[in-house]
Amino acid sequence: MPDARQMVLGTYNQKKRNELQQLLAPLGIELKSLQDFPAAIEVVEDGNSFGENAAKKATQQAVHLNQWVLAEDSGLCVDALKGAPGIYSARFSGDDATDEKNNDLLLEKLDGLPPEKRGAHYVCHITLSNPAGEVILESEDKCHGRIMTERHGTHGFGYDPLFQIREYHLTFGQLGPAVKGLISHRAKATRAFLAGLRQMLDQNPELLRQETK
């Protein structure tokens, strides 16, 4: 619909888009990804934090596309690796990194460590930019767990098959999207983001429907 509320998620990752789309659906927001915009630019993620990278991805892409852009930067921080891979989570194993290679490298680096030394947490920072490149809203949250010694489950992406939620004694790869959609770093950051977004839309219901020049 031409008057639908719309945002662009600043990523080509359809799994991330699908997760966030489910969370944004109650507000009647259609979430597109960069796959819908052939003219999208490649934003250099050279910030020093998840927040800096999210802001760069949101504001630069918003100005270029003349759209409302929602960007998130997330990653895994492992205690025994002094917070690594952190903001480098997606390219932990190099320029040709894949989920499999990243998981293999993580297992290699933690080889031999007992369970109590394998603590880790996921971080997600979400930023919304208007078409003028101004940060309008942002949020950040975490999800704590530990790294298993081998993969478990096939759900999710990234490090999910290795990331165990202690309370459940299961990895995100085993828990599946329904549970992850409640307790993950992205879910919690999105809930905080949505609370702020609801307030904005209450004040201006046409906010995301406005035509941009």
Please count the residues of the chain: 213
One-letter amino acid identity for 17?
R
CA dist., res. 96 & res. 94, Å (int): 5
Query: Would residue 99 show up in a list of annotated catalytic residues for this protein?
Result: no
* Active-site option among 3, 73, 79, 99: 73
Which letter, b or e, does each residue of 29-53 get, where b requires 16 or more Cβ atoms within 10 Å of its Cβ?
bebbbbeebeebeebebeeeebbbb
E strands, 102-212, are: 119-129, 135-147, 163-165, 170-171
Q: Which two tokens stand for residue 173?
A: 């790869």
Catalytic residue list? 73
